Amino acid sequence: MAEPDAAAESTVTVLVAGAANMAIAIAKAIAAVISGSAAMLSESAHSVADTVTEVLLLVAVRRGARPADDDHPLGHGREFYLWALLAAFATFVAGAGISILEGVEKLLHGESPGDPWVAAIVLVVAFAIESVSLLRALTQVRASALRWDVRPRTFLRVTTDTAVKAVTFEDTAALVGLVLAGAGLALTHLTGSSMWDGIASILIGVLLVVVAVSLTRANSSLLIGQTVPGDLRSALVAELMAFPCVQDVPTLVTSVLGPEQVLVAARVRFSPDCTADDIADVADQAEQRFLAHHPGVREVFLDPTPRLAHEERLSGS
């Protein structure tokens, strides 16, 4: 569900997010040391995980966009989902794991809070930078949703370009995490109890688990060949049935080959009076129509299917 320049747009979105996360991770780590905040340390781990994620997503975009060759006649699109799956795993391990462990450590052993003001300043600056990164991702989402005449939320749910989905989810989670870290820092400063800081750290970890699981499910499903949404399949069948020579479409199979790359294969039953030239003409027109009306479609295979034997007997009786 995007135009042919989707890979270039996704690359820019990933680069913006990666640069932002790298700068924020360093600032958060320094603030964590000064303030002694577990939530701030969790936020630093969060940003490190996001930076690693952006690097892996950039590799995914580059490798998945390679053209077809003799060994990979349908292209390298699914390799995108392999690297994107590793990126989701990095979010889970480097971000969620460290955050939850640090929070539990703070709850069990406690620690006297340090100077919270440096951490507070870093949180405010990080919130501004993360907002810019999220705005870039949302701009791409809105533009793509407008091209496909769907709501942005629907686009995020059904798009096969999981790079923009990952950046959008992670930047949103980053903003929520910053709010949690700020709340934990403020409550710790007001009450003098590090319990709030530990709770905030654990909540940040749980938030990252939710994001990681969501992205893992999306990428693993696409990696093994997910079909397209039912409304698109229905539209493809309807377009085939609109040809005068077509009697029925008993089977239509679709499979995602990569970001915005879909294979369509169909068994088509033609009328008995259709000639071989008629069938070839329908196949050519159907392929052209699919490619023109559905930019995500990259490969089309139509298999003329003869009528079943019992149907021939019934028609002759």
One-character DSSP codes across 195-255:
HHHHHHHHHHHHHHHHHHHHHHHHHHHHHT-PPPPHHHHHHHHHHHHTSTTEEEEEEEEEE
* Cα–Cα distance, 182 to 121 (Å, whole number): 10
> How much is the pTM?
0.78
Q: Would you say the CATH fold of 230-316 matches that of 6-223?
A: no
* Cα–Cα distance, 58 to 48 (Å, whole number): 15
- Looking at residue 317, what is its pLDDT? 46
- Looking at residue 3, what is its pLDDT? 43
User: Does CATH number 3.40.50.2300 belong to domain 6-223?
Assistant: no
Nearest to 15 by CA among 167, 173, 127: 167
Query: Measuring CA to CA, how many Å separate 123 from each of 79, 153, 179, 202, 217?
Result: 36, 28, 8, 18, 31
- Looking at residue 101, what is its pLDDT? 87
- Looking at residue 4, what is its pLDDT? 44
> Residue 301: in which H helix or E strand, if any?
strand 297-304
- Looking at residue 111, what is its pLDDT? 64
Q: Sign of torsion, CA 32 38 43 47?
A: positive
* Cα–Cα distance, 59 to 306 (Å, whole number): 46
CB 161 within 8 A of CB 258: no
Residues paired with residue 303 on neighbouring β-strands, in sequence order? 267
CB 151 within 8 A of CB 195: no
Query: What is the token pair recorded at 289?
Result: 């129509």
Query: What is the token pair recorded at 184?
Result: 């934990």
Amino acid at 3: E
- Looking at residue 284, what is its pLDDT? 93
Domain ranges (residues) in the chain = 6-223, 230-316
Q: Please tell me the class of the 230-316 domain.
A: alpha beta
pLDDT by 10-residue block (mean), the chain, 317 residues: 57 79 82 77 79 86 88 91 89 80 83 71 87 88 83 88 88 90 89 88 90 92 90 92 92 92 94 90 92 86 71 47
- Looking at residue 80, what is its pLDDT? 92
- Looking at residue 251, what is its pLDDT? 93
CB 53 within 8 A of CB 137: no
